[in-house]
Chains A and B, each alone.
Chain A
Amino acid sequence: MQSRVWKSGDPFIWLAAGALGTALLMIGGLFWLIITRALGVFWPAELVLLELRTGERFLGHIGAVEASPDPENSKTLVRRIQVQVANRDLSSADFVWIDEDQIASRTRPTDAIVVERQEWGNLFGWLVAVTEDGEPIAQGSEQSWQVLQQMLPQVAAQRGRIRRLEQRQLGDINYRMEQTRLEMKRYELRGDDAGALQGVRERLTRLQAEYEQVYARLEAMKREAQRTVAVFQTASGQEKSVPLVQVVRAYWPNQMSTWQKVRLYCAKFWEFVSGEPRESNTEGGVFPAIFGTVLMVLIMSCAVVPFGVLAALYLREYARQGPAVRLVRIAVNNLAGVPSIVFGVFGLGFFIYSVGGSIDSWLFAERLPTPTFGTGGILWASLTLALLTVPVVIVATEEALAAVPREHREGSLALGATKYETIRNVVLPSALPGVFTGLILAMARGAGEVAPLMITGVVKLAPSLPLDHHWPYLHLDRKFMHLGFHIYDVGFQSPNVEAAKPMVYATTLLLVSIVVFLNLTAIFLRARIRKRLHAGAF
């Protein structure tokens, strides 16, 4: 009886289905965790005012509830709630733990305000006044709120102007000065043409003067922006003046309608995706990291596909199949199992020190001892990842080449085509979906890899994007930001880990979405090619 049940295969089916189900459950759980945690980040939560029996007052978002043993009586448990109180500049911690039985009252004050600031994170409190040059122009919560609402757009514009001046104009002058300085150094290295050197020196002086001028204008604008100040009172009664230019956004979460909350949500999400990071990456946006990730994956793809396809072509089509080729194939497969940090170290040693160092001494001698390619950069990081993922592409391409029907090759050869013509016209087009499969797998692996990047060019905060308006537009030597590293950095290296937690989830979701998006693009392309290859009635 028992053996019949086994022979019928039903238990096996259940076993197989169970394995798949478990895998799906775990993946689903992971996604559920990421999505629920990440999507909640931008929702404006309510502010709760807690008054304790001791008379202390806390205003903040209620977080996790935890039960911990009573320090005096270990038999009983004490429920504690976590409250995010913000005001990092006033109190030492962002978060406080409060024993539940200490709480005397919980209220939701309608005029409690959340202020997102350029520095020091959020401020929770009440608006007291708005002053200009020390003179109050609005008093009281309501009136000040009106004034604040009116002024914030102007302030944002002002902030934009300051940033543009700082980054564009000042940056350009800086860049030109740097170029001129390098030019000067080149002349000095060559040691001839004193006249030209003199000209360059004069140009540098002119640039210097221009720089001073713009800098003065910037200073003036900054001073101007400091004039208007909003005054807040916190729950503990402290007063805090914040220059309006520091205020990114202010809202009364306890009296917002759902529609307003949705709008705020979208705005904050957009800021996250398109904005620059603030407060050592724990706030603001992650645009540079998105950009860096995508660009790195693209450069990696551009490097890994030709490289892997050519290698696979030789291995499958030209090499005489034998023990040597089998050995190479095993080696390639094993390469995929080497820890990624080893690739990072290799990239550091080979690409950065050897190749980069050589490039520097040949082409950028004038910049030394400051390295150009002799230090981590997006090119080296991409190439290191290309090396890491090339086995995947080789294996996938080889499989695809092997799957090209022999009839197609022979059909082409029988028409008088050479082997090269056959490969170019018949074999490669047929193998293209397989190449794309390899690329998809490579991208999925490459986009999520962090360890090798940390030593080949990723930084916590890159001063500029690798793509800008200065020739040659794409700066492969620049350091860049990466979402994976961002997660690691914000989640584990930031001074305020608790406050950064939402950011970690949001960034994770973003990274996963980007990987999914890149893969979907490749899958879509592959499907189109497949359709072309396999169209027909059969």
Chain B
Amino acid sequence: MKVGNPGATLSFPVSDRVVRERVSEEGLTQALASRGELPDAILSVRNLSLSYDGQHWALQDISLDIPRHRVTAFIGPSGCGKSTLLRCFNRLNDLIDGVQIRGMINLDGMNIYDPRLAVTSLRKRVGMVFQRSNPFPKSIYDNVAYGPRLSGSRNRRELDEIVERGLRAAALWDEVKDRLDDNALSLSGGQQQRLCIARALAVEPEVLLMDEPCSALDPIATAKIEALIHELKGRYTIVVVTHNMQQAARVSDYTAFLYLGRLVEYGATDKIFTNPDQKETEDYITGRFG
């Protein structure tokens, strides 16, 4: 693990070339991230506030950028609003009666809360994997083909291809290729979660949201999912909410710490886990909370 904070050394005369290189790229990113801004952001959140009842604000004035083709982790204690923030990205919070949302979220420069935008097309671009694996009580094949069928793919050969691609992308193909017609519920917990990832990938989203994807899995299944996240980040932008700080440290490039609905700190994972700027972040990640 890399230690030390390259950003801070900017103010000192630098004698070592190694240090200089370390500073240049990440230091800039770091400086931007401290204000919630990052270059090449696919999602940018500006002054987002959300309330379920109109009185208590579950999210307060959050601004941050999610960088493209990187893994961003949201951490924070229960009820801090990290899942709520995640569910803003595909507008799943819309389902709740009486929810109020202020501020703006841009997906590639397009406001996702624009009333002219069809929410279904947004959700096809922003896929989601849930805390409890939730395969539909259908066959493995039908689960993966669910999204493409909604988009109107009916051709069997085309669907076969999509299903195989999705399952391969989720590293599940070799385990299930001989029993695609079995009920998805006959798979193990870890396999079910990877099936859900395959199902989300079959729609070919740009962003993959993961809401505590491993919280119900054993360590081996968790490791497989984490390996998969590393695998996928070249092609997809991944946002993962997790309770497990070690997991956030392992899989993510950037980490945002939320507390009581506020974004306390956001920055490169290396920095957050070795030398966070905020006392609250430090207390949380060192296990001094509560």
Q: Which residues of chain A have a CB within 8 Å of any CB of chain B?
A: 320-321, 405, 407-408, 410-418, 421, 425-426, 429-430, 532-538
- Known A408-B134, A411-B130; judge A538-B97 contact (CB<8 A): no
The one of B138, B151, B186 in contact with A416, judged by C-beta atoms closer than 8 angstroms, is B151
Q: Which residues of chain B have a CB within 8 Å of any CB of chain A?
A: 90, 92, 95, 97, 120-121, 123-124, 127-128, 130-132, 134-138, 146-147, 150-151, 183, 185-189, 196, 199-200, 203
- Known A413-B95, A413-B123, A414-B127; judge A429-B137 contact (CB<8 A): yes
Q: How far is the CA of A415 from the CA of B124 in the complex (A)?
A: 6
Chain B min CB distance to A399 (Å): 18
- Known A410-B92, A415-B123, A416-B203; judge A535-B186 contact (CB<8 A): yes
Q: How far is the CA of A538 from the CA of B183 in the complex (A)?
A: 12
A417 touches B150 (CB 8 A): yes
Chain A min CB distance to B165 (Å): 16
Chain A min CB distance to B249 (Å): 27
Q: How far is the CA of A320 from the CA of B98 in the complex (A)?
A: 10
The one of A415, A425, A534, A537 in contact with B203, judged by C-beta atoms closer than 8 angstroms, is A415
B92 touches A414 (CB 8 A): yes
B185 touches A535 (CB 8 A): yes
B128 touches A414 (CB 8 A): yes
A415 touches B200 (CB 8 A): yes
Q: How far is the CA of A135 from the CA of B185 in the complex (A)?
A: 82
- Known A410-B134, A411-B136, A533-B137; judge A425-B123 contact (CB<8 A): no
Q: How far is the CA of A522 from the CA of B18 in the complex (A)?
A: 75
- Known A414-B92, A429-B137; judge A407-B130 contact (CB<8 A): yes
A410 touches B130 (CB 8 A): yes
A536 touches B123 (CB 8 A): no
Residues of B close to A408: CB separation below 8 A:
134, 136
Q: Which of B130, B137, B199 has the most chain A CB within a 10 Å cutoff? A: B137
A412 touches B97 (CB 8 A): no
Chain B min CB distance to A435 (Å): 15
Residues of A close to B92: CB separation below 8 A:
410, 413-414
25 contacts between A and B (CB under 8 A): A408-B134, A410-B92, A412-B136, A412-B146, A414-B90, A414-B123, A414-B127, A415-B124, A415-B147, A415-B150, A416-B120, A416-B147, A416-B150, A417-B120, A417-B150, A425-B146, A426-B136, A429-B137, A533-B137, A533-B185, A536-B183, A536-B185, A536-B186, A537-B187, A537-B188
Closest to A321 in B: B97
Residues of A close to B203: CB separation below 8 A:
415-416
Chain A min CB distance to B96 (Å): 11
Residues of B close to A425: CB separation below 8 A:
136, 146
Chain B min CB distance to A195 (Å): 56
Residues of B close to A321: CB separation below 8 A:
97
Q: Besides A405-B134, A537-B188, 7 other CB < 8 A contacts?
A: A405-B132, A411-B134, A413-B92, A415-B146, A416-B147, A416-B150, A430-B137
- Known A414-B123, A416-B121, A417-B150; judge A538-B185 contact (CB<8 A): yes
Q: How far is the CA of A538 from the CA of B146 in the complex (A)?
A: 23
Residues of A close to B131: CB separation below 8 A:
407
A414 touches B188 (CB 8 A): no
Chain B min CB distance to A466 (Å): 39
Q: How far is the CA of A375 from the CA of B136 in the complex (A)?
A: 49
Q: Which of A412, A414, A416, A536 has the most chain B CB within a 10 Å cutoff? A: A414
A536 touches B187 (CB 8 A): yes
Q: Which of B123, B127, B189 has the most chain A CB within a 10 Å cutoff? A: B123
Q: How far is the CA of A410 from the CA of B203 in the complex (A)?
A: 15
Residues of A close to B196: CB separation below 8 A:
411
Closest to A320 in B: B97
Residues of A close to B138: CB separation below 8 A:
429
Residues of A close to B135: CB separation below 8 A:
411
B185 touches A415 (CB 8 A): no
Q: How far is the CA of A405 from the CA of B196 in the complex (A)?
A: 15
Closest to A534 in B: B185
Q: How far is the CA of A138 from the CA of B174 in the complex (A)?
A: 89
Residues of B close to A533: CB separation below 8 A:
137, 185
The one of B127, B132, B183, B186 in contact with A415, judged by C-beta atoms closer than 8 angstroms, is B127
Residues of A close to B147: CB separation below 8 A:
415-417
B150 touches A421 (CB 8 A): yes
Chain B min CB distance to A320 (Å): 7
Q: Which of B90, B130, B136 has the most chain A CB within a 10 Å cutoff? A: B136
Q: How far is the CA of A405 from the CA of B81 in the complex (A)?
A: 22
Residues of B close to A415: CB separation below 8 A:
123-124, 127, 146-147, 150, 199-200, 203
Residues of A close to B137: CB separation below 8 A:
429-430, 532-535
Residues of A close to B136: CB separation below 8 A:
408, 411-412, 425-426
Chain A min CB distance to B225 (Å): 17
Closest to B199 in A: A415
Q: How far is the CA of A430 from the CA of B134 in the complex (A)?
A: 13
Residues of B close to A426: CB separation below 8 A:
136
Closest to B148 in A: A415
Residues of B close to A430: CB separation below 8 A:
137
Residues of B close to A534: CB separation below 8 A:
137, 185
Q: How far is the CA of A401 from the CA of B228 in the complex (A)?
A: 34
The one of A418, A429, A536, A538 in contact with B120, judged by C-beta atoms closer than 8 angstroms, is A418
A537 touches B123 (CB 8 A): no
Residues of B close to A416: CB separation below 8 A:
120-121, 123-124, 147, 150-151, 203
Residues of A close to B120: CB separation below 8 A:
416-418
Q: Which of B97, B131, B134, B187 has the most chain A CB within a 10 Å cutoff? A: B134
Chain B min CB distance to A132 (Å): 73
Q: How far is the CA of A118 from the CA of B186 in the complex (A)?
A: 63
Q: How far is the CA of A412 from the CA of B199 in the complex (A)?
A: 10
Chain B min CB distance to A242 (Å): 66
Q: How far is the CA of A358 from the CA of B103 in the complex (A)?
A: 59
Residues of B close to A413: CB separation below 8 A:
92, 95, 123
Q: How far is the CA of A429 from the CA of B97 in the complex (A)?
A: 25
Closest 8 pairs between A and B when the two form their complex, measured CB to CB: A536-B185, A407-B134, A416-B124, A414-B128, A415-B147, A533-B137, A535-B183, A416-B123
Q: How far is the CA of A430 from the CA of B203 in the complex (A)?
A: 23
Chain B min CB distance to A319 (Å): 11
Closest to B134 in A: A407
Residues of A close to B132: CB separation below 8 A:
405, 407
Q: Which of A405, A430, A538 has the most chain B CB within a 10 Å cutoff? A: A538
Q: How far is the CA of A405 from the CA of B124 in the complex (A)?
A: 22
Chain A min CB distance to B191 (Å): 10
Residues of A close to B127: CB separation below 8 A:
414-415
Q: How far is the CA of A463 from the CA of B109 in the complex (A)?
A: 77
Q: How far is the CA of A533 from the CA of B183 in the complex (A)?
A: 8
